[in-house]
Amino acid sequence: MKKRTLLLLLLTLVLVISGCTVKTKDESSQQPSEPAGEKPANPSAETIELLAMSSQESDVNIIRDQLTKNGFNVKLNLQPDYGSYKAQQDAGNYDVILSSWTTVTGNPDYAVRSLFKTGGDYSIMSDEEVDKLVDQAATQTSEDAKETYKQLEQRLVTDKAYIAPLYISLKSQALNKDILDENSVRLSKSRSLPWEAVDFKDQSKRDKEPLVLAQSTSTLTSLDPIKGNDGSINIINTNMNVRLINLTDDDKITSEGSLSYNHSIAEGNSEYYFILRDDINFAKVDNKLAVDSGERVGADDVVFALNRAKDKDSVPDHRTYTLHEHIKDVEVVKDLSALDAVKVSGSDETVRQSLEKGLETKISSLVTDKNQASTKDGKYQVIKLTTTEPFPQVLNYLAHQSAGIVSKKQVESINTYDVAKFDVNKDIPYGDQNTVTEGDKYNNTLFASGPYILSYKNDYEAVFYKNPGYMKGTEHEPKINQVKVRFIKDADSTLSALRSNEIHMYYGVPETKYDVVKGDSKLKLQSIESNAVSYLLFNTKNRDIAKSEDLRKAVLYSINQDEILAYYNNNKIKAFSTVSPMIKTGNELKADPAKVKEHLANYQASK
C-alpha cells in the first residue's frame, strides 16, 4: 500500500510539472484538446485522439460512442472553426481526423487524385500502389475504370485502412418561394449554384433589390481562381470567372453557358477543341460599381489562364495545379484546314463540322486577335488543348472553378513580384481578399469574366454586381443586378435568417433542419444525392496509428454506418470511399466487433 501511495504521489508531481511546460507558438495559439483534468474512462484501453470542428459535433458524438463501445478511450480535439482545425491538422495533433470531400467536377479522378496520390494538393499519403491505381483509372473508359476504382477503394480501406468511410450526404437548399421564382433556382449535383439563372417572382425587383444569399466563412482564401479550392470561394469564383466548359445539373459535360459555343474531342482522346464566343467582356469595379472594362474575353486569356493553372510555380501557394497536370499544351488554332483534317473521336465527322453545329454562321475564317472575332461574320477563335496522355476526364477539370478564365493583361499588371521570392508582408497578389475588404487597404483590381464581380466585402457581407458585358441579350445574361452574400456562421442562425426574410436562399441545409423547412409554408426544400463524402482520415506521421495497420483497422471496424444513417433518419447514404457517389463498386464497410478485438490484440502484442 505504501509503495502504491508513493507511486501515486510521484505521478501527481509529474502531472503538475508537465502542466507548467512552456508551449510552442503553434501550440499556445490553439484551444486545449480537452478539459483540464479529464481522465480516460478505461486507463488500460488504447486512446484515440479525434480531431474535428465543433460544427461536426453530432458526428463526433456518434463516432466517440462507437469507439468507446469497442474498447477505446476517445480524446476529443474539437476546434471552433476551420482555421484552428487546419492548424491542428498541420501540427499533427490527432490520431484520426473527421474529414469530408465534395467532388465538384463530377468525375472520379477528382475524388482521389488530390486526396490520396503522393504529392497531391491535400494528400498526406505516399503509397505506390495507390498512385498506380489512380493513374491507371484516369486513362480508362468508364466501364474498365470501375474495376480499377474498386481495387483502389480496397487498398485505401480494407487493405491498408488509410481512411474509414462514414456516409454520402444529400445536397439540399431551401428557398423562399414567395420571393424567388422557384423554377429559376437550380440544384446541381456537382456544379455550384449559377447565380445568373436565379430570378425574382416579381421581375420588377431585378434592378431594385438584391438577391441575398449566405455562407458561413467570411475569410476568403483567394479571388484568384487557381489559389483556392474550398468552401469560402468555390461558389464565388465559379460565378466570377467563366470557363471553357460547364457541367449540367446531373454532371454531364456541356458548352451551355460557357465561353465556348461548342467543343469537340479528336481521335485518340488527347486533343480537345473549343470554339469561342465573342459576347463576353471583363467587368471591373469603379467607385464600388461594376462597369464594362471594354476588354473582350478571348483566346489569349484562355491560353494564359490554363497555362498558369497547370504550372505549380505560376503563383505562390498554388492549390489546384494537380487538377490540371494532364494539360500538355494550349494553343490558338490559326489554320482552318487543320479542323477539316481531324476526325471526332469515334466518328467520321470532322472537328470543324462538330464545332459548327448549331451556329447561325458557319466558320469562314479563324483569327488570332480576339478583337477581330465576329460571330455574325463567321470569324472565330478556336482553342486546341492537348493532354499528356488520353484523358477525357480533363473536361471535368476544365469545368472546375480553378479553370476560370482571367485577364492576361490585368493579372500580369498586378503580379509583378518574383514568385520564388514572394514576401507575404509586402507583395500583394491578384485576388488578395484584402484588396476588396472595406478599409485602408481597399483597392479592387479584379477583372471578372463571369456573370458577376465582387465589389467589396466586410465582416458582415460581400456585395456583387452583374457584369454589364456578359452575354447581353442571351438567356445567360444575369437576371438580378446585385447579389449579397451574408456571412452567418451556424445553421440555426442561417435558417432563422431565411425564415425572417433576411436571406432568400439557404444553400447546404443540414439534414437535421429538413423538418423545419418543410413546416414553413413559404419555404421550399430542394434535395438530391450529392458528391459529398464524410470519412475519417488517419494520421500518417509521428503517431502509433501511422505505423500500425492493426490499430487503424480496429478503428475502421468499429464504425457502424447503419447507426449513423438511423441518427439522420436515413437522409444519408452509405459510402465506401470518396468515389462512391460516382461509381458503385459494390464495396461495403460492415462493423465487426470481432475484427476490432482481433486487430487490437495484434497491435498490443506487437508493442
User: Is residue 512 very low, low, confident or very high in pLDDT (cuts 50, 70, 90)?
Assistant: confident
Across 24-33, 81-90, 164-173, the highest mean pLDDT is recorded for: 164-173
User: Is residue 41 very low, low, confident or very high in pLDDT (cuts 50, 70, 90)?
Assistant: low
State residue 511's pLDDT score. Answer: 84
State residue 138's pLDDT score. Answer: 87
The x, y and z cell numbers of residue 456, run together, are 467589396
State residue 29's pLDDT score. Answer: 32
Sheet holding 482-487, edge to edge: 211-215, 482-487, 461-466, 452-457
Average pLDDT of the segment spanning 284-313: 98
Average pLDDT of the segment spanning 236-263: 96
Residue predicted with more confidence, 467 or 569: 467
State residue 412's pLDDT score. Answer: 98
State residue 5's pLDDT score. Answer: 39
Least confident of 53-57, 218-222, 348-352, 536-540: 53-57
User: Is residue 39 very low, low, confident or very high in pLDDT (cuts 50, 70, 90)?
Assistant: low
| Residues whose CB falls within 8 Å of the CB of residue 232, separated by 6 or more in sequence, listed in order | 215, 217, 219, 220, 221
State residue 141's pLDDT score. Answer: 76
Least confident of 81-90, 284-293, 399-408, 460-469: 81-90
Query: Helix/strand/coil (H, E, C) string of 330-382?
Result: EEECCCCHHHHCCEECCCCCEHHHHHHCCCCCCCCEECCCHHHCEHHHCEECE
Residue labelled with grid coordinates 434535395: 527
Sign of CA dihedral 572, 578, 583, 587: negative
Of all residues in the chain, the percent with pLDDT exceeding 90 is: 82
Residue 593 pLDDT > 80, yes or no?
yes
State residue 25's pLDDT score. Answer: 30
State residue 144's pLDDT score. Answer: 84
Mean pLDDT of the chain: 91
Residue 37 pLDDT > 90, yes or no?
no
User: Is residue 510 very low, low, confident or very high in pLDDT (cuts 50, 70, 90)?
Assistant: confident
Residue 288 pLDDT > 60, yes or no?
yes
Average pLDDT of the segment spanning 348-373: 97
Average pLDDT of the segment spanning 432-438: 96
Residues 570-586 have pLDDT tens digits of 999 999 999 999 999 99
Note every long-range contact of 592-599, with CB atoms under 8 Å and residues 24 or more positions apart, other chains counting.
Answer: 592/557, 593/70, 593/557, 593/558, 595/553, 595/554, 595/557, 596/70, 596/71, 596/554, 596/557, 596/558, 597/71, 599/550, 599/551, 599/553, 599/554, 599/557
Cβ density class 516-538: b for 16+ within 10 Å, e for less: bbeeeeebbbbbeebbbbbbbbb
Residues 520-549 have pLDDT tens digits of 999 999 999 999 999 999 999 989 999 999
State residue 542's pLDDT score. Answer: 83
Average pLDDT of the segment spanning 9-26: 34
Residue 4 pLDDT > 90, yes or no?
no
How many whole angstroms separate alpha carbon 178 and alpha carbon 223?
Answer: 33
State residue 533's pLDDT score. Answer: 96
Residue labelled with grid coordinates 501527481: 12
State residue 31's pLDDT score. Answer: 36
Average pLDDT of the segment spanning 486-496: 94
State residue 42's pLDDT score. Answer: 64
User: Is residue 16 very low, low, confident or very high in pLDDT (cuts 50, 70, 90)?
Assistant: very low
